Structure 1
Amino acid sequence: MEKHLIVLDLDGTLLTDTQTISEKTKQTIMKAKEAGHQVMIATGRPFRASQLYYNELMLTTPIVNFNGALVHHPKNKSFKLVHSPMDIGVVHDVVDSVDKFQYKNLIAEVMDNVFIHTEDQSMMNIFKMGDPDVTIGNLRGNLNEDPTSLLIHANEENVPSIRKHLEDVHAELIDHRRWGAPFHIVEIVKKGLNKAVGISLVAKELNIPRDRIIAFGDEDNDLEMIDYAGIGVAMANGIDQLKSIANEVTLSNNEDGIANVLIERLKLN
């Protein structure tokens, strides 16, 4: 069988609700690698929060982080790192403009450095994963570099109005996505970036055509990726919008949905 590129989102897709990779899914991915297929991760997480799973699967491919704002190869320094941060002036404008909305916190990330507007112990475990440098305090005073991403943590009922405001006022300069539960967060990156942009760079490097890309996802930050892939697969726990454009809907992240598709399509039994 011809070589395929298997692209895995993490949260709600590869990872179960306990933030682990099930044994069946892990062994199936290993079989796919042994059969000559390439496996990569494409996630909204920074690398420091995805490295654990990259290592667990013993990957040797580039990785897409921050929904396409960072593409790099942890094992091959000759692969050109692509980092596409937002202009810090744009971020300041966004921060100022959302002040009229009720939000809980603002978090900016510069690669693997974290800047948190207000200390919030309920979220510290997430942002301290991978032991980054964490700076707490007013973003205007502390953030002095172009950030890779900006996160707005809000109450669930306020997320739609914040996203509408971003679309109405800042659409020419930024793209935004919504995280799933338990934290209702709007993630902002530079305009034109998404997972599909990063995957296309990796596929070109690996010389794998688009029609031999199998991508798995569950949330709205996976829309472009699922649409781009030759075989776009939505998880049963995914959003309806993603399911409507996917080539296939598989079982949930807790039911080895990834493994079932790979076993059938790549004949891994």
Structure 2
Amino acid sequence: MNEHLIVLDLDGTLLTDDKKISSLTKETLFKAKQAGHQVMIATGRPFRASLPYYKELELTTPIVNFNGALIHHPKNPMWKTIHTPVDLSVVHDVVESVHKYEYDNLIAEVMDDVYLHREDEKVHEMFNMGSPNILMGDLKQTLKENPTSLLIQADDVNTPIIRKHLQDVHAELIEHRRWGAPFPIIEIVHKGLSKAIGIDFISKEMGIPRERIIAFGDEDNDFEMIDYAGIGVAMSNGIDDLKNIANEITLSNNEDGIAKFLHDRLKL
């Protein structure tokens, strides 16, 4: 069978709800690699928070982090890293403009440095994976360089209100997406970025055509990736809007949906 590129979102897709890779899914992905297929991760997470899974799957491929703001190859220092942060002035404008709305926190990430606008033990714990430098305080004072991403933590009521504001006021300069676990987050990255941008670049480097890309996702930040892939697969636990554009729907992240689909499609 021709070589395929298998692209995996992490949370809600590759990972079960307890943030593990099931034994069957891991076994199936190893079989896919042994059969000559390529396996890669495309995630909204920073690299430090995806590295344990990269290692667990013994990957040797490039990876897309921060929803396309960082495209790099952990195993090949000669491979050109593409880092596209948000302009600091834009971030300051966004921070200033959202103060009139109700939100829980603002979080900026500059690669492996994390800036928390408000001290919060749960948020601190969530972003502590990989032992980053964590700084507390008003982002307009503490943040001094262009961040890789800006996150707005807000509840389910206020998230759509804030997103409408971002679309109305800042749409020319940023992309914004929502993810729902462990709590609602609006992620802001540089205009024009998505997981699909990174996958397109990597697949061309590998010489794998779009029609042989199988991508798995479950959330708002997977839209472009699922639409771009020749075979875009939504998890059954995914949001309805993603299922509506996907080519296929597989079982949930807790039911080995990736393993089931790859076993059937690639005859593993």
TM range (shorter): over 0.9
Superposed CA deviations along residues 22-81 of structure 1, whole A, max 9, x for unmatched, are: 000000000000011000000000000000000000000000000000000000011100
**C-alpha distance in 1, partners of 2:156/2:231?**
32
Unaligned segments of structure 2, at least 5 residues: none
Q: What is residue 223 of structure 2 aligned with on the other side?
A: 223
Match of 1:127 in 2: 127
Q: Deviations over 1:143-171 (max 9, x none)?
A: 00100000001122100000000000000
| TM-score where L is the length of structure 2 | 0.99
Deviation, 1:180, is 1.1
- Structure 1 unaligned blocks of 5 or more: none
Q: How does 1:93-172 map to 2 (within 5 A)?
A: 93-172=93-172
C-alpha separation in 2, matches of 1:113 and 1:181: 21
TM-score of the two chains, using structure 1 as the length reference:
0.99
Matched residue SS, 1:156? coil
1:81 alignment counterpart: 81
2:15 equivalent in structure 1: 15
Shift of 1:126: 1.3
What's the offset of the Cα at 1:181? 3.1
Cα-Cα RMSD: 0.6
* Cα offsets for 1:101-122 (capped at 9, x unmatched): 0111100000111011111001
Residue 211 of structure 2 is matched in structure 1 by: 211
Q: Which residue of 2 aligns with 1:66?
A: 66
- Which amino acid is the alignment partner of residue 255 of structure 2? E
Q: How far apart in 2 are the matches of 1:60 and 1:140?
A: 39
Could you tell me how far 1:124 is from its partner in structure 2? 1.4
Identical pairs, percent: 70
* Correspondence for 1:42: 42
Query: Counterpart of 1:225 in 2: which secondary structure?
Result: helix
- Corresponding position of 1:188: 188
Aligned residues: 268
Name the SS for the 1:167 alignment partner: helix
The 1-side partners of 2:118 and 2:220 are apart by: 27
d(CA) in 2 for partners of 1:92, 1:2: 48
Instruction: Tell me the equivalent position of 2:250.
Output: 250
Distance across 2 between alignment mates of 1:182 and 1:31: 31
